[in-house]
Structure 1
Amino acid sequence: MTTTLLPALLGLATGLSLIIAIGSQNAFVLRLGIEGRSRVIVPVVVICAVSDAVLILAGVLGLGAVIAAAPVAIVVIRVLGSTFLIAYGLLAARRAIRPGALLVSGVVAPTGMRVAVMSVLALTWLNPHVYLDTVLLLGAVANQQGTAERWWWAGGAIAASVIWFSVLGFGARLLRPLFARPASWRVLDAVIAVVMIALGVRLALGY
């Protein structure tokens, strides 16, 4: 029991320590969660959790070495990812500066299904740091466990992703009373703009 539970708990703790850090993906899921539209947030949470699971398992299976050996691919992903992050950050900044862009018939304009899905896919798969954190880092730590224990460790890390994105996506609706006024959305979009643009510039510079 201990030989399986301990690696799983360690994987859970390590996964949470990496995933909870403020980033573009978390900021995007938070905004959708505050909108409180289950039809949109459910597939977004699933995409985030499944993507992390695929990347973590890829790391356990040793694909981290393949990625490390393909620097050109990382450069291409970095360029595309930084472009997307900066563009999304500029759109968030526009919403923050121009309150009218937030409103549709007097209410905050919700994010459509297509935009939400395409955005979260881009924020997940066009971010080189995702590969570094999941495939390389988590995969390497998992493979330091025993042959059987590494799968329990990976399971714990995957559970961390499922738990975090579920809490973030579905729990954020508790903040809706705070965002009943457009001014609150302006503040949130200003924060998102700073996060997205800063991460995009950092990515473009190779940090």
Structure 2
Amino acid sequence: MLTPFLIGAGSGLSLIVAIGAQNAFVLRQGIGRTHVLPVVLICGLTDALLEFAGVAGIGFVVARAPLVLDVVLWGGAVFLVGYAATAARRAMRPSALVAGPGEPVSLRRTVLACLAITFLNPHVYLDTMVLMGSIGNAQGDPGRWWFVAGGALASIAWFFALGYGARVLTPLFAKPGAWRVLDAVVALVMLVIAARLLHDFFTG
């Protein structure tokens, strides 16, 4: 069952290895070494759970629930714009840094932000539950479960690598100016994704 496993791993990586809200958030937490373990666990295990749900058939229901996805879309767009505004404020005011090295940040606040970024994005459901579910179910039994195993392992490995690998960049971010650049990029990424969500709504 190596082939379905590799297909799952390749498909999963192709969907998550890209600049997005979730990856930008994990990268920033990793560079700041702030609650990295809970963040990467939330992101990795959520992907794994949603991929399992998609292969189990829930993706079929999600694909036919446009109203639910629309609600998530608007909630996600509002949250991303707000997060972008916060990142932009940090970029313009170095004293407003929230997740710089050595600065205390509430675990609760970090977890809530991570959950919001993870679940308030309809593309998460479409990618993991609908798309991965469709590809996985095409593998038949028991291949589809090996597919899920491959996709889940790839997601977890990616977020751990991103979160803990980001610390090699810590020396680069010893100066506030580097954090300002990072926050400006994060703000731009969040705004672009929010605009994409709204574009999909009005053109879809």
- Which residue, 122, 143, 147 being the options, matches 2:141? 147
CA drift of 1:22 comes to 0.8
Matched, 1:93 2:88: yes
Contact residue 63 and residue 126 of structure 2 kept, 8 A: no
CA drift of 1:204 comes to 2.2
Q: Give matches, 1:114-133, under 5 Å.
A: 114-133=108-127
Q: Secondary structure at the match of 1:163?
A: helix
Match of 2:32 in 1: 35
Q: Give matches, 1:19-168, under 5 Å.
A: 19-37=16-34, 40-102=35-97, 109-168=103-162
CA drift of 1:138 comes to 0.5
Q: Secondary structure at the match of 2:200?
A: coil
CA drift of 1:206 comes to 2.3
Percent identity of paired positions between Structure 1 and Structure 2: 52
Distance 1:24 1:12 in 2: 21
Distance 1:103 1:65 in 2: 40
- Which residue, 189, 197, 202 being the options, matches 2:196? 202
Q: Secondary structure at the match of 1:145?
A: coil
TM-score by length of 2: 0.94
1:18 partner amino acid: L
CA drift of 1:69 comes to 1.5
Contact residue 4 and residue 147 of structure 2 kept, 8 A: yes
- Which residue, 2, 6, 30 being the options, matches 1:5? 2
Matched, 1:176 2:173: no
Distance 1:131 1:102 in 2: 32
CA drift of 1:18 comes to 0.8
CA drift of 1:108 comes to 6.7
Unaligned runs of 5+ in 1: none
Distance 1:108 1:43 in 2: 17
RMSD: 1.7
Contact residue 32 and residue 111 of structure 1 kept, 8 A: no
Q: How many residues align?
A: 201
Q: Secondary structure at the match of 1:111?
A: coil
Unaligned runs of 5+ in 2: none
Q: 1:181 to 1:108 in 2, by over 3 A?
A: farther
- For residues 144-190 of structure 1, the C-alpha deviation after alignment (integer angstroms, 9 at most, x for no partner) is 10210110011100011010000011111111000000000000000
Distance 1:100 1:36 in 2: 18
Structure 1 stretches (4+) deviating beyond 6 angstroms? Answer: none
- For residues 8-30 of structure 1, the C-alpha deviation after alignment (integer angstroms, 9 at most, x for no partner) is 11111111111111100000000
